[in-house]
Amino acid sequence: MTRFLSLLTLVLLSSVAWAAEFKHVGDFLLQSHFKLTGQQVTPIPMKPIAFRVYTDGIHIRVTAEGDEDAHTTFEIYRSDGIGRQRPGAGALEVIPGLQAMSNVAGTLRHLRLSRESMTITTFPGVSDQTIVSYSVAAELKPGIVDAREKLVTKP
């Protein structure tokens, strides 16, 4: 009986560890970063940043290049697609993707993720500003350190 309980405990713990494992789903390169205040849009100059995105099916974890320990975790709340404006026609279409959010210390972050792009919108708790970061899908090139050379945007 003790052996059975030990085996059962081991199986349960290993299945929980497997379920909580984050898997790599894509790499993205920051294309634009800007601040919205009222009706004014202000570009924020930044060097390109490479992001790695992981998921366990419930959460999405976004890390900046070279620092896997520092990350932002978002909780997925919608996975039935995201809306976007069709290029040229202007009509709204739904493409495969998901939406997630994070609320840490009064700062709300919203993430829209598709195969082509990732948008993170940040709403600081006590501010009239909104910050939008737009990244495009990229492919990792091994062995190159600079983010602009490390990631090549996908067509």
Residue 146 pLDDT exceeds 70:
no
What share of the chain in percent tops pLDDT 90?
A: 39
Dihedral angle at the C-alpha atoms of 92, 37, 40, 29, nearest 10 degrees?
Answer: -60
The pLDDT, as a whole number, for residue 10 is 43
Phi and psi dihedrals of 26, rounded to 5?
170, 165
Cα(119)–Cα(138) distance, integer angstroms: 14
Domains of the chain, start order: 22-153 (2.40.128)
Residue in 127, 101, 97 with CA at minimum distance from that of residue 26: 97
Q: How confident is the model at residue 28 (pLDDT cuts 50, 70, 90)?
A: very high
Joined tokens for residue 135: 């990244």
List, for residues 42-79, the tens digit of each pLDDT value.
999 888 889 999 999 899 999 887 777 778 899 999 98
